[in-house]
Amino acid sequence: MIEMWDGVKDTALHKAVRMEHLEVAKLLIEEDPEFEYLANDDGETPIYIAAELQFHGCLEEMLNKCIKPTYVGPLGRNALHAAILSGFGYTKISKSIKILFFEYRTKGSRGEFATECTKSLLKKKICLCEQTDIFGWTPLHYAIKNKNNKAARMILKRKTPATYICAGGNDEWTTAFHIAAKHGKVEMMKEISNRCPDCWEMVNSKGQNILHEAILSKNVNVIRHIEESSDQFENLVTHKDKDGNTPLHLLAFTRRSIRHQFIKEHPMLNYFAFNKKHQTMFDMDIWDGRLISDRTLRSKRLLLHSRKFAHRMIPDPEHGVNTLPTMEKRFEAVMKISKTQVVVATLVLTMTFAAGIAVPGGYHQEKGYPLLLQNTAFKAFIIADTISFLCSFCSIAVYVMLVRKASRYSRRRLEILAILHFWQAGLLTLACYGVVIAFLCAMYATLAPLRPLAIADLILGFFIPIVVNLAYVMTHKLLWVRNKFRLYKARQL
């Protein structure tokens, strides 16, 4: 009967451990200590369940008296995974009580038992700390991520080489040192670096070192710790990953305050190094939609270097000729779009002027005022046509200012051009909407005797632009979400 199992392959010992009946579990173990308890349908063995529930007394009993103990669990994990993860609220419970469960296990005696379970498992079978789950993560990786410093120190003390086991698959992987940096675990970084001094040279699957990871994660404390603790800071800051990006390139994706503070504290670094796409940190920052002000570049050496860079030519590997720097390409792209917009604005200005002179319905032959002057739709036409005329005129005026500002190349000028370009596009959009509304109001006013046709024309005129705009907005949002998801996934890996 001890060896029998139910519909989910739970034996009596599975049940006793799960219900935390210590005396029953002892009785079952003593009756048949040679029986090998296999995993149930959920992939759990009695030892795994005891470790997950932090049932330390029962775990000790099975480890000491079972002749053929089995440690496997679901998702390719073992009992040591369970002991480390369950110490911080990881178990099969509903999300509604997860917070209460977390507080109970970390503040009460269960939190102490989690450490004792880890100690017992390491003492009995040290190789558990080197086994990975289906995600490629060892118990040490989870201990570092979940702030289980006690368990991580025990593993590092008993099996220091476990630090060199990579987390992840064959194509994308990282190291325990990178995980500590990514999650801001400065204490664990100190523990790992004290036991493994060569960890500062470790890189992940993308060829990124620990400083790459710290900057991508935007952890100021970790960046500060690397600056103060590592005597290889200069080597780390110049190291390039597989894309040719140094940690300085990745500053473009951090908060402006972090970026400015870093440049202020390290003004002599080479912020104009190129990656494999011939981009500097500043080029990547502009492409990401955020501009770095020249106020952060007060160092004379940096300013001199920036002047030299402004006249440098970049070789184009496809055509074998020299092309203008990326910043000048930005100027050309903005000016090209602005020229198209000014042509459209001129056409709108001409149409609205003509429509304002030749009003729908004509003029009274004797008195000279419009025949539809008392019509509400005609009044709306006049207002919409006037707004469209003025907005198109202002758009042309903004273009004239934009041309004047584009006479010289500089990052400050590019920032001003971007603002003017935004205003030009906004004014042109309002002018186009005004033209559509003016046209619909004019049609409604002239078709007033045919009320059904006038209403149908008005509904159709408003419906089509709304549908087109919604389709554009939804497409833009979907692309934005996709790009953000790819960036998030890249940073997580």
Question: What is the pLDDT at residue 411?
Answer: 56
Burial zone of 223 (CB within 10 Å; 0-12 exposed, 13-18 middle, 19+ buried): buried
Give the integer Cα–Cα distance in Å for 140 and 130: 8
Give the integer Cα–Cα distance in Å for 78 and 250: 37
Question: What is the pLDDT at residue 285?
Answer: 59
Distance of CA 362 to the CA centre of its chain: 60
Tokens at 390, concatenated = 């003025």
Contacts of 169 (CB under 8 A, 6+ apart): 136
The CA angle 133-138-141, to the nearest 5 degrees, is 130
* Residue 134 identity (one-letter amino acid): I
Buried b (16+ CB within 10 A) or exposed e, 379-392: ebbbebbebbbbbb
**pLDDT below 50 — which residues of the chain?**
89-111, 286-325
Ramachandran angles phi, psi of 78, nearest 5°: -120, -175
What secondary structure letter does DSSP report for 294? G
User: What pTM, to 2 d.p., does this model score?
Assistant: 0.55
Helices (H), 3-55: 12-18, 22-31, 46-52
DSSP strand pairing (167-168 vs 322-323): unpaired
Question: What is the pLDDT at residue 116?
Answer: 85
What secondary structure letter does DSSP report for 271? T
Q: CATH assignment of 1-165, given 3.30.70.2190, 1.25.40.20, 3.65.10.10, 3.30.428.10?
A: 1.25.40.20
Q: What is the CATH number of domain 323-370+380-436?
A: 1.20.120
Asked if 46 and 113 count as a contact pair (C-beta separation under 8 A), the reply is: no
Strand partners, 314: 323
Contacts of 215 (CB under 8 A, 6+ apart): 223, 247, 250, 251, 253, 254
Phi/psi region, residue 184 (left: phi>0; alpha: psi -120 to 50; beta: rest), is left
Give the integer Cα–Cα distance in Å for 274 and 283: 10
* Residue 43 identity (one-letter amino acid): G
Write out pLDDT tens, residues 72-93: 999 999 999 999 987 554 443 3
Domain ranges of the chain: 1-165, 323-370+380-436
Q: Could you tell me how many residues make up the chain?
A: 493
Closest of 438, 434, 441 to residue 457, by C-alpha: 441
DSSP strand pairing (322-323 vs 314-315): antiparallel
In 154-256, DSSP assigns E strands to 167-168, 173-174
